[in-house]
Structure 1
Amino acid sequence: MSQSSSSSSSSSHPSSSPSAETAHTFQVDLRGLVDLLSHHLYSSPRVYLRELLQNAVDAITARQAAEPGCAAAITVRTGDTLSVTDTGIGLSEADVHRFLATIGRSSKRTADGRFDGAGLDAARGEFIGQFGIGLLACFVVADEITVLSRRADDPAAPAVEWRGHSDGRYTLRTLPASAAPEPGTTVTLIPRADNAEWTRPDQVVALARHYGALLRHDVTVVGPRGETTRVNDTPPWERSHASPLARREAMTAYCRGLFDFTPLDTIELDLPAAGLRGVAYVLPTAVSPAQRAGHRVHLKGMLLTDQAPELLPDWAFFVRCVVDTTSLRPTASREALYEDGTLAAVRDALATRIRDWLTGLAASDPALLHRFIDTHHLAVKALARYDDELLRIVLPWLPFETTDGNVTLEEFARGHATILVSRSVEEFRQVAPIAAAAGLGVVNGGYTYDRDLVHRLPELRPGTAVTDLDPATVTAHLDAVEPAAELRAAAFLAIARETIGAHDCDVVLRDFQPVTAPALLLDNREARHERTRSTLSAESDGLWADILGSLRSETPRAQLVLNHLNPLVRQALTVTERGLAVTTTEALYGQALLLSRRPLKAGESALLNRAFIGLLTHAMHHNGTAAPDAATDSAPGKEL
C-alpha cells in the first residue's frame, strides 16, 4: 500500500517555459479508501478473514507449482490478536516493497493484467485473488497489520517483517532466518475495539467454516486455550462411496447440515469443461416463482457467495445448488458472479442437467415424479411451454382445474371432444357450475402458463379441439323460458333491467341447471373494459372525458341471467312493489358478483350493503316490527 504522500518528477521542459509540464503521481488517502471498501465494496467487515484465507491459499498454490508435494496447511490463531499462518511461497524484501506497499498491485499479475511470478506458469490460473486489495480489508477490523514472511525457494534468505498502519505508514526490517523457522507467511492483526466482534474466537471459527469449508488445504483454528477446530472437509461429491445409495445419503446429510432441510431429491452437477462440480437439491416444499433460491458458489474451494440466483434460469426456482468452480469470474468485491459468456454457458448447461433429471424420472422413478409435480407443478409448466419432449413426458401428470375437478388434460380430453379454456380465473368461476351441469368441458386458463399449455394439447393429442371460452357458448346451452312465464315476469324484469342497467349489465330469464343457482353473471374481458371506460368517463371532465367517450365500443354488455327454475327467483318475479323489486334485483346481482369471486369495486360493495339493509328492513316491517329509532337507541342507559 502506498504512503499518503507522493513524490513528483519534473518534465523535460524547462520550468520557465510557458509550455512546461510537471508530472505528479496520485496520492492515496488510505483511511478514505478503507472506508470505501467497508461501506461500498464489501458487504460486511467479516470479509477480512476471507481475504486472509485467500492470500494463504494462493501462496500455497504458488509454492506447490514450484515444489510439488510441499506442506500445505493454514492455521488461524485467536486471542488478544488474530493471526493466519500459511506454508506458502513466502515474500522477500523486494516482494514486500512491490506488493504489500502498493495498492492494487497483486503478485498474481503484472501491471498490464497478466499473471506474474517466475516459475509459476502452471499456477497462474489457480490463484483466487487477482485485484491486489485483499490485505486492505483487514484495516476494516484492525489499525495495525504485521506480516512476517520467509521465501521458500531461498533457504538462505532472511525473514522480513512488514508492519502497516491504517494511516498509510509502514515499516520494514529484515530478521534472522530463525525468526521464521519454516518458510511461509504469518499475518497478525491487532483488532480494533469498535469491530472486535468480528475477531472473537467463536466468530472466527464460524467465519472460517463459512468461507473455507471446501478449501483443499487443511484449515485449522486454534483457540485462546490451545483448542483446535478443523473447519474444512472434502465435499460429498468428491468422496468415494461404497454404493450409489451411500453417496445419495451423504449428499442428503450434507444438505441437512448446510440448508436445514431434507431434499426431495439430489441432482449431481459435473461440468468438466467449466471446472464445475456440485449438487442441486430439489426443495421439498412449494415456493413462489418470484422467490429465486440463493445458490452457494465456491471458487476453487473458497466461498464466493451464498446468494447467486443468476447461476440457474428463472424456471429452476425449485432447486438450491452448492457448486465449486474454477472458471466463473468474481466481481471485484468477490461477493457475486461476473455476468459474461462463461456464466451464460454454465447456466445453460446446468439447466440442461436439471431438465434431463426431470425427464428421466418418468422412466426411472414415476412415484418421485408424481411427488415432484404435486409440489412444483408450476415450475414444470413453465418449462414445458417451450420444451415439446418434456411436455409429452409430463402432460399425463400435470393437474389442471376443470369443470370435472382437478384432473390431468389427458383424462379430461377423454371425456370432452372440445375443450373450452377461460381467459381468467374470474371467468372460469362465473361459468363453471353452469357449464358442468350442461356437460361443457371448461379448463381454468387463468393460472400462470395453463392457457398456453392447453392450447398446445392438439399438437400432442390429435383429434382434440381447444378453443377459448365465449360466454355466448354458455348462453346457448341455457333454455329459454315459456312465453307465458316471460310475460308474467315482464313487470319485474323491466324494473330489474332499469336497476342493473346502471351497471352496464342486461337482465335475462332462462332455465338452467343446477336449480340451486339463482343467478349467473356472464361477463367477458371486452365488457369489463367497456365498463371501466364508462366509469372513468363519468368521473372525468373536459378533454379526458371526450377522449374516453370517443372510445366507446359496441361490445355486448354483461348479462345477469336469472334462473327461472330456482324457487327464490320464481318468488321474486311476483314482486310488484317497485322498491322491493329494486332491492331484490340488487340482492340477486350482488350474489352473482360474489359467486364470480372477483374483487368488488366500491360501488358494488355499496350495492350489496344497500340490498342487505333493504331486505332486512322489509322483513322487519312485514313482521310488524318497527325499525329502531336512532335517537332512542342511543339514549343513556340503553343497552345494546
Structure 2
Amino acid sequence: DVYKRQALGEAIINALLDLATHDRPRFLQVCDWHHDAIKGMAARHPQFGAAILAYLPFETHQGNLTLPDFLARQPTGANGKKSLYFFTHEADANQFYVLCRARGLLAINAGRSFDEILLRRYADAYPAEIELKVLDRLEDQSFYEALEREEQEAYSALERAVDRALAAQDIAVETRVRRFQPAELSAVLLAGQRISAFDDLGQALEKPFLLEGLTELAGEVRDRLRRQPLTFFLNAEHPLIQRLRDLAQPAALRYRPLLAGLYYGALLNARHRLTPATARHFHTDLQALLGDYLTLSLKCQTEDSPDDQKDGS
C-alpha cells in the first residue's frame, strides 16, 4: 500500500510537471481549480516545490504571472536586485495595486493559501537576485516620501485632529502626512511591525493541533491586536488633504465626520481591517453627511432650475 501511494504520488507530480511544460493553458486551469492542493503540495514537499514553483501562477494587477515572468517585468533596483513586492490580504488589492501601478511596479496578491510560504521560499533560493518586500507593513521612503520639516509642521494640527476624531470612535491610528502617488489616493492604511507580530502570533495560536488552553491566549492576542494603532498615511498631493491643512481649527467638532471619512475611504481599499463596529460608524456618518449636503444644496438654491425640474419629471 505504501509503495502504491508513493507510485501514485510520483505519477501525479510527473503529470503536473508535464502539463506545466507542454500544455500551459491547461496547467493554469488545473491550478485555478485546485489552487490549495497544488500549492499545498509545493509548500509541504520541497522536492516537488523546487521542480514546479517556477511554473505556478500568482495574481497581479496584470493577471496571473509565474515568478520568472513577474521578475522579468519588474525594474531592477539600485542595489541590482529585483523587488518581489507582495501583500497578504486579498481584500487590500485596491490599495496596493493602485500604489504599484503609479510607480510602474508589480505586486503579488498573496492572500490565498500557501502563497506567502512559496514566495519566501523562492526569494530565499535567489538571495543575490531578489529582495522580498511586504507591502502591508512597508513604510519605504521610495513609496511614501517624508515631508520637509516646515511642510510637516504645517500638517501637524491636522494629524492630531484626525487621531482625536478616530479615537472618539475607539479607532487607534497614528496619522502621518506623506507624499505619494497617485495624487488622487487620499490615504492608505498600513500595519506596523508591532501589529504584524501580534497578527502572526494570533494565527499561530489558533492552529488546531495546539493545546486547548492556548485558545484563550489566542483571543487575548487578538484583543491586543485590535488595540494596536495602525499607520495611517494622508497624501500631501491630494487636494482635499491640502484644504484640510489650511483650516484654522481642524480639530473642531464640525469637521470630525470629514476627518473620519478619510479613514473610511482608506478602509474601502483595505477592507480586511473593516470591522462591524467601524462599518456602523461609517454608515451613521455617511447618512449625516448626505443630510448636510442636501441642506446646503437647498440653502444655495431657493428654487429649482429648469434643468432640475426636467430631471425630476
TM-score norm. by structure 1 comes to 0.37
Counterpart position of 1:372:
30
How many Å separate the matches in 2 of 1:504 and 1:456? Answer: 34
Of 100, 117, 132 in structure 2, the residue corresponding to residue 467 of structure 1 is: 132
Secondary structure of residue in 1 paired with 2:128: coil
Q: What is the letter of the counterpart of residue 237 of structure 2?
A: L
- Are 1:425 and 2:90 matched, yes or no? yes
Counterpart position of 2:246:
574
Counterpart position of 1:585:
259
Counterpart position of 1:455:
120
- Are 1:361 and 2:19 matched, yes or no? yes
Deviation at 1:515, TM superposition (A): 1.1
How many Å separate the matches in 2 of 1:579 and 1:374? Answer: 50
Are the counterparts in 2 of residues 421 and 444 from structure 1 also a CA contact under 8 Å? yes
- Are 1:397 and 2:55 matched, yes or no? yes
Q: What is the letter of the counterpart of residue 478 of structure 1?
A: Y
Counterpart position of 2:144:
478
Secondary structure of residue in 2 paired with 1:448: coil
Counterpart position of 1:600:
274
Are the counterparts in 2 of residues 377 and 398 from structure 1 also a CA contact under 8 Å? no
Matches within 5 A, 1:345-356: 345-356=3-14
Secondary structure of residue in 2 paired with 1:582: helix
Matches within 5 A, 1:336-351: 342=1, 344-351=2-9
How many Å separate the matches in 2 of 1:510 and 1:359? Answer: 47
Deviation at 1:618, TM superposition (A): 2.8
Query: Structure 2 vs 1, CA of residues 396 and 382 (structure 1 numbering), >3 Å: closer, same or farther?
Result: same
Counterpart position of 1:229:
none
How many Å separate the matches in 1 of 2:290 and 2:172? Answer: 27
Deviation at 1:450, TM superposition (A): 0.9
Of 521, 525, 550 in structure 1, the residue corresponding to residue 189 of structure 2 is: 521
Q: What is the letter of the counterpart of residue 70 of structure 2?
A: F
Aligned length: 268
Counterpart position of 2:160:
494
Structure with higher RCO (Cα < 8 A, 6+ apart): 2
Task: Give the number of the structure whose alpha-carbon radius of gyration is greater.
Answer: 1
Deviation at 1:523, TM superposition (A): 1.9
Deviation at 1:478, TM superposition (A): 1.0
Are the counterparts in 2 of residues 419 and 466 from structure 1 also a CA contact under 8 Å? yes
How many Å separate the matches in 1 of 2:23 and 2:96? Answer: 38
Deviation at 1:429, TM superposition (A): 5.1
Q: How far does the alpha carbon of each residue in 1:203-228 deviate from its partner, in whole angstroms, 9 at most, with x for none? A: xxxxxxxxxxxxxxxxxxxxxxxxxx
Deviation at 1:623, TM superposition (A): 3.2
- Are 1:618 and 2:292 matched, yes or no? yes
Matches within 5 A, 1:539-550: none
How many Å separate the matches in 1 of 2:298 and 2:22? Answer: 74
Matches within 5 A, 1:301-312: none
Secondary structure of residue in 2 paired with 1:454: helix
How many Å separate the matches in 1 of 2:40 and 2:175? Answer: 40
Query: Structure 2 vs 1, CA of residues 380 and 510 (structure 1 numbering), >3 Å: closer, same or farther?
Result: same
Deviation at 1:412, TM superposition (A): 1.3
Q: What is the letter of the counterpart of residue 146 of structure 2?
A: A
| Greater share of strand | 1
How many Å separate the matches in 2 of 1:462 and 1:484? Answer: 40
Query: Structure 2 vs 1, CA of residues 608 and 430 (structure 1 numbering), >3 Å: closer, same or farther?
Result: same
Matches within 5 A, 1:238-277: none
Of 527, 547, 561 in structure 1, the residue corresponding to residue 233 of structure 2 is: 561
| Greater share of helix | 2
How many Å separate the matches in 2 of 1:573 and 1:403? Answer: 33
How many Å separate the matches in 1 of 2:270 and 2:119? Answer: 22
Q: What is the letter of the counterpart of residue 497 of structure 1?
A: D
How many Å separate the matches in 2 of 1:480 and 1:468? Answer: 19
- Are 1:437 and 2:137 matched, yes or no? no
Counterpart position of 2:310:
none
Q: How far does the alpha carbon of each residue in 1:277-305 deviate from its partner, in whole angstroms, 9 at most, with x for none? A: xxxxxxxxxxxxxxxxxxxxxxxxxxxxx
Deviation at 1:519, TM superposition (A): 1.0
Q: What is the letter of the counterpart of residue 564 of structure 1?
A: A
Deviation at 1:469, TM superposition (A): 1.3
Query: Structure 2 vs 1, CA of residues 406 and 483 (structure 1 numbering), >3 Å: closer, same or farther?
Result: same
Deviation at 1:614, TM superposition (A): 2.9
Deviation at 1:428, TM superposition (A): 5.6
Counterpart position of 1:408:
66
Counterpart position of 1:505:
173
Runs of 5+ consecutive residues of structure 1 not aligned to the other structure: 1-341, 534-543, 627-640
TM-score norm. by structure 2 comes to 0.70
Runs of 5+ consecutive residues of structure 2 not aligned to the other structure: 76-81, 203-215, 301-313
Query: Structure 2 vs 1, CA of residues 392 and 494 (structure 1 numbering), >3 Å: closer, same or farther?
Result: closer
